[in-house]
């Protein structure tokens, strides 16, 4: 899916990683993956602007060529685009990776990558670059009950084993409204963000049907009803959601600014990225406002 020349160009010119040839010759796959992932999260945003800019009856699961073009332009996308691309990238680097279905708000509306045989035979790591919450490393899944607690940007999180699945749990920094009882599950002070099992799959086409549904059915994803852009700069979070921004300060707190006009929203987005055309942004804002449910709370 990606040639060696494309991989080297992406790592060098898009991710701006130094000494790529030296990195690729390294025998330490953990360092290789984490170096790529740290830069990837800084360069490739999580956003639904391109989806929202598409009229609802024309929305579709992005093709491989659309995904690749978007990543080379630093446009990022939703989880499917990020993880399909990274699956191809790491496959081209001879990293043993597989994808698994994951559930956030509705069954299998997310997917994650598992990296295997990284430091030793049969080890396994979670690779997460396809959600708006920060994760700047891959996380070992070789724990009995729970992983260490991680603090990335404004967020405190960990992984736990529960009822045959692995759950990503959030504590400090989780931004979802507490009234979201339908998908909320707590273990003490920790709240489930998503879960997955380890039924691995290396066939990209096996994800086609479910993600066709995610990209076309508003009931399968919240990203048909909002306007979002999330990126990270020096491992600090900057978010644009609907009519407000949330930007992380030096105390790892998110400072909120509300906007009154599309011009202010676009100016804010332009301070985060120059990879998405203004015409696309304006179309996304128009379509967001046309959503009956969104119009109930334009915040």
Q: What is the pLDDT of residues 253-271, one digit of tens each?
A: 999 999 999 999 999 999 9
Average pLDDT over residues 175-201: 84
User: Between helices 29-43 and 79-92, what is the axis angle to 10°?
Assistant: 140
> Which structural domain, as residue segments, surrounds residue 141?
4-296
Sign of the torsion angle spanned by Cα atoms 125, 129, 132, 135: positive
Give the total number of structural domains in the chain.
1
* pLDDT at position 295 over 90: no
| Closest CA relative to residue 204, chosen from 111, 95, 104, 66 | 111
Please state, in angstroms and rounded to a whole number, the distance separating the CA atoms of residues 207 and 69.
Answer: 20
Q: Is 16 left (phi over 0), alpha (psi -120 to 50) or beta?
A: left
Question: What is the pLDDT at residue 298?
Answer: 55
With tokens 């994650």, the residue in question is 112
* 53 touches 28 (CB < 8 A): no
* pLDDT at position 124 over 90: yes
Q: pLDDT-derived band of residue 16, with 50, 70 and 90 as boundaries?
A: very high
DSSP 15: S
Average pLDDT over residues 209-235: 96
Contacts 24+ apart (CB under 8 A), 157-163: 157/133, 157/193, 158/190, 159/126, 160/187, 160/190, 162/187, 162/195
Question: What is the pLDDT at residue 294?
Answer: 46
| Closest CA relative to residue 216, chosen from 45, 38, 55 | 55
Q: What is the pLDDT of residues 172-186, one digit of tens each?
A: 999 988 755 556 899
* 82 touches 194 (CB < 8 A): no
Please state, in angstroms and rounded to a whole number, the distance separating the CA atoms of residues 118 and 107.
Answer: 29
CATH value at residue 123: 3.30.2140.20
The rounded mean pLDDT for the chain is 94
Q: Model-level pTM?
A: 0.95
Question: What is the pLDDT at residue 103?
Answer: 95
Average pLDDT over residues 115-141: 96
DSSP E strand stretches across 30-109 = 46-47, 96-103
Please state, in angstroms and rounded to a whole number, the distance separating the CA atoms of residues 291 and 162.
Answer: 37
Please state, in angstroms and rounded to a whole number, the distance separating the CA atoms of residues 282 and 80.
Answer: 24
């Amino acid at each position: 899916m990606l040639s060696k020349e494309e991989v080297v160009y992406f790592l060098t010119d898009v991710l701006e990683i130094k000494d790529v040839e030296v990195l690729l010759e390294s025998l330490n796959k953990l360092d290789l993956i984490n170096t790529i992932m740290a830069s990837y999260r800084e360069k490739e945003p999580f956003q639904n602007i391109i989806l929202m800019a598409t009229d609802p009856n024309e929305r579709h699961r992005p093709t491989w060529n659309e995904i690749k073009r978007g990543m080379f332009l630093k446009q990022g996308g939703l989880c499917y685009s990020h993880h399909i691309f990274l699956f191809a990238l790491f496959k081209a680097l001879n990293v043993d990776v597989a994808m698994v279905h994951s559930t956030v708000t509705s069954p299998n509306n997310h997917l994650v990558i598992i990296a295997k045989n990284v430091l030793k035979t049969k080890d396994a790591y979670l690779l997460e670059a396809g959600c708006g919450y920060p994760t700047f490393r891959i996380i070992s899944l070789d724990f009995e009950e729970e992983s260490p607690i991680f603090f990335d940007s404004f967020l405190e999180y960990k992984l736990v084993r529960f009822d045959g699945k692995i759950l990503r749990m959030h504590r400090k920094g989780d931004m979802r409204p507490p009234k979201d009882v339908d998908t909320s599950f707590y273990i003490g002070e920790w709240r489930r963000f998503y879960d997955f099992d380890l039924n691995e799959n290396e066939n990209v086409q096996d994800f086609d049907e479910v993600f066709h549904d995610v990209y076309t059915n508003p009931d399968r994803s919240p990203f048909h009803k909002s306007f979002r852009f999330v990126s990270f700069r020096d491992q600090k979070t900057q978010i644009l959601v609907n009519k407000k921004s949330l930007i992380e300060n030096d105390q790892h707190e998110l400072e909120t600014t509300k906007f009154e006009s599309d011009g202010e929203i676009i100016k804010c987005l332009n301070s985060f990225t120059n990879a998405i055309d203004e015409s696309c942004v304006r179309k996304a804002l128009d379509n967001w406002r046309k959503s009956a449910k969104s119009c109930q709370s334009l915040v």
